A and B are shown apart, each in its own frame.
Chain A
Amino acid sequence: DIHLTQSPSFLSASVGDGVTITCRASQDISSYLAWYQQKPGKAPKLLIYAVSTLQSGVPSRFSGSGSGTEFTLTITSLQPEDFATYSCLQHYRYPQTFGGGTKVEIK
């Protein structure tokens, strides 16, 4: 199975800050990497797929980059509604696997 390692697992930031979350795959997954946002008690919401393509309706302050085994999610100018947990997903092959998640909290 393909293992995804996310870092950091937790970060504290202020409104207006920029943050970057990293997702490393245990093997080459080409561009088959997606990012989700999840708030407490809610289902995950797809933000980005194919590394850098924003899902419809997702603000442009979210961006993704990378290829192969290393990927990043960047949020420029954090907004109050962005404080949540972010998870990466590899959809290169089954079993599809998620990273462990990064919780972004308000400093």
Chain B
Amino acid sequence: EVQLVESGGGLVRPGGSLRLSCTSSGLTFSPYSMNWVRQAPGKGLEWIAYISSSSGTIYYADSVKGRFTISRDNARSSLYLQINSLREEDAAVYYCAANIVVPGMVFDNWGQGTQVTVSS
């Protein structure tokens, strides 16, 4: 069974930084592209970043471009999100999501999420 586990969330002051991690188990991580999706309190889901299996292709949502950096370490079966210059509107649950079984770029496996709170 595929399992994705996020970590690294917490309380951060505006302008601060945080590094989120997502560790996978139950599958060979390297062939699969990965994504980060977030959900602000009481709001809908927002895709924010994509990385291909080899890290050769990376996309960001405009809302995070220039402040967030997605990366991965296939040897460690891990995905990362470096978040800089945090704003109050970045407060959300951050999920890692993968497209593993279903054809097309559909997120068919999700982690449980890690909470990021931004407050002074």
Chain B contact residues: over half helix, strand or loop, or mixed? loop
CA distance A95 to B113 in the complex (A): 20
Which residues of B in the span 26-78 have a Cβ within 8 Å of any Cβ on A? 35, 44-47, 50, 59, 61-62
Nearest CB to that of A45 among chain B residues? B110
Shortest CB-to-CB span from B81 to chain A, Å, is 16
Instruction: State how many residues of chain B have any CB contact under 8 Å with chain A.
Output: 21
Select A94's contact among B59, B103, B107, B110, beta carbons within 8 Å. B59
Partner-contacting stretch, out of A14-22, A67-75, A96-104? A96-104
Select A98's contact among B47, B112, B113, beta carbons within 8 Å. B47
Which residues of B in the span 92-120 have a Cβ within 8 Å of any Cβ on A? 95, 102-108, 110-113
Instruction: State how many residues of chain A have any CB contact under 8 Å with chain B.
Output: 24
CA distance A50 to B108 in the complex (A): 12
Give 14 new A-B contacts, CB below 8 A, not counting A34-B106, A42-B112. A1-B62, A36-B45, A43-B113, A46-B102, A46-B106, A46-B108, A49-B103, A50-B103, A55-B102, A89-B106, A91-B105, A95-B47, A100-B44, A101-B44
> Which residues of B are in contact with A by a Cβ distance under 8 Å?
35, 44-47, 50, 59, 61-62, 95, 102-108, 110-113
> Which residues of A are in contact with B by a Cβ distance under 8 Å?
1, 32, 34, 36, 38, 42-46, 49-50, 55, 87, 89, 91, 94-101
